[in-house]
Each structure stands twice: as structure tokens, then as C-alpha cells.
Amino acid sequence: MTHEAPVQGPLNTHNKENNMPKETPNSEQQIESSRLLNLVRAAAISPDDARTLVERIIEQVRDRYPDENHSQHQDRVAEMIVSRYSKWASLSGGATALVGVVPGLGTVLVATGGAIGDAALSMKFQVDMAMCLATAYGYDLNNEDARNLSLLIAAGGTLEKAGVSAGTRIASQAGVRLLRQYLKGAVLQAIKELFKKLGIIFTRKALEKALPFGIGVVVGATANYYLTRYVGREAIQWFRLDRESGGPEATLGR
């Protein structure tokens, strides 16, 4: 088995181009980032709910485009997933109206408030979308690594949109190799590090100093929509490249 050369990524501490806020996160920020990850995991869509949502969309696509092949159907389903989640994210200011529509949303609304609540709500949409996209491209979310992959893609895409240089773009061949390396190694530590960076971005203090999204993170329908659309498009491109180089079997194979 050949060993691929290491790919520079968001956990490379020697990346001089990383433009995260300069200060080291204090204990309060670290607690917030840990809580953020735990909340997002707790509120994330279940494998069964993701499969049900995706299968419903697959049926619609097959009925509309019966002559297209499997890969074309996958891509159409993926575009519809991103469109749906972008719309839901844009409505998150009235999140209570979405509780019956978006699985797990009530968990965020009950357990959070303030900056951490905004962060958890925003990241739930990104993670749920990534999980549904993974399902559409043949991943079984009952596999823990498939769920971890979704967390990596959602967090990495959000950091990119925030203007945080990761050294490697998620939606690239190098990005595919990078996430595969994480899944074969210390993937939980990789996820924690990404969410630590997200925790810094989402805190009030970091927003006041850096404003990585230009006007703050979750400040209105437009910001939510464009964040989700960006992450979704990056995720789709990642899964397309992944499909070209072996797909789930190559990514999750040991």
C-alpha cells in the first residue's frame, strides 16, 4: 500500500498563512467551543431521518429525469439538498416555526441562547446538510466515520467562508486526501481542533475584533443563506471528487 504525502490542512500549526485571530483562546472560549461541538452532535439529524429525507428527494429526481444515470441523479439530489438547507438557514431567525420541520432543532433552541446558541444553530444546518449529502453520495451514516466526515466537511467549509486560511481547500483533490488522512488517524482530535477555531470565531469577543463574516456570523437571513450555500457547494464538489477516486469504499476503507 502506497503512502500519500501529508497534505497541509487546518490542523497544521506551521501554516503561516492562517489568519485566525492572533490571541490564544482563553478557558472560557475553550469551554464554549467544546460545548458547541457537543450541542451540534446532540442536535444533528439522525441517520434514519437523513435517509428518509434523501430517499424522498431521490424519488422526485428519478420521476423527473428517468433517462439520467446514477451519478447525474446523485448530483441533482445534492443540489436540491443544498437549496433546501439554504432556505431553512435563511429562516432561522424564526427558528421556532421550523421545529416541526427540521429534526433536532428543538434541542438547540431549548439548550442554548446568545452567541453559543447562534453558533450551534448555524452549525447544525451545515452539519445536517453535509450528512444528507453524504447519504446522497452513498455513505451510510450508521458508520461513525461517515458522520465524522460530515463534521469535517461542515466545519472546514464554514471556516473557509469565514476567511480562515486552512492551507488546503476542502473542495479539491488535496482536500479529499486530507480528510481521508484524518479519518485514518486522529479524526476526533481533528474535529475538536476545527470546532475550537469555530468557537473562537463565534464568540462575541472574537467577532468584535475580527468580524470574519463581515457583519458577524448569524445576523440575518442573507448571511445564513450565503454561508449555507457556500458550504453546500464546497461539500458537493468534495463528494464529486471523492466519487471519482473511489467514493465511500476508498474513503472509509481500512
pLDDT in tens, 162-172: 888 666 899 99
12 lies in a domain?
Answer: no
Quote the CA–CA distance of 169 and 10 in Å, as a whole number. Answer: 9
Quote the CA–CA distance of 198 and 163 in Å, as a whole number. Answer: 12
Secondary structure (DSSP) of 133-201: HHHHTT--TTSHHHHHHHHHHHHHHHHHHTT---SS-SSSHHHHHHHHHHHTS-HHHHHHHHHHHHHHH
20 lies in a domain?
Answer: no
Rounded mean pLDDT, 142-158: 96
Percent of the residues in the chain that have a pLDDT greater than 70, as a whole number: 67
Quote the CA–CA distance of 126 and 216 in Å, as a whole number. Answer: 17
100 lies in a domain?
Answer: yes
pLDDT of residue 30: 46
149 lies in a domain?
Answer: yes
Domain count, the chain: 1
pLDDT of residue 235: 98
State residue 200 phi and psi, 5-degree precision. -65, -45
Query: In this predicted model, which residue has the larger pLDDT, 111 or 76?
Result: 76
Query: In this predicted model, which residue has the larger pLDDT, 101 or 242?
Result: 242
pLDDT of residue 57: 98
Q: How many other C-beta atoms lie within 10 A of the C-beta of residue 2? A: 3
101 lies in a domain?
Answer: yes
With a threshold of 0.85, does the pTM exceed it? no
Check whether 100 has a pLDDT greater than 50.
no
67 lies in a domain?
Answer: yes
241 lies in a domain?
Answer: yes
Domain that holds residue 162: 27-252
pLDDT of residue 107: 52
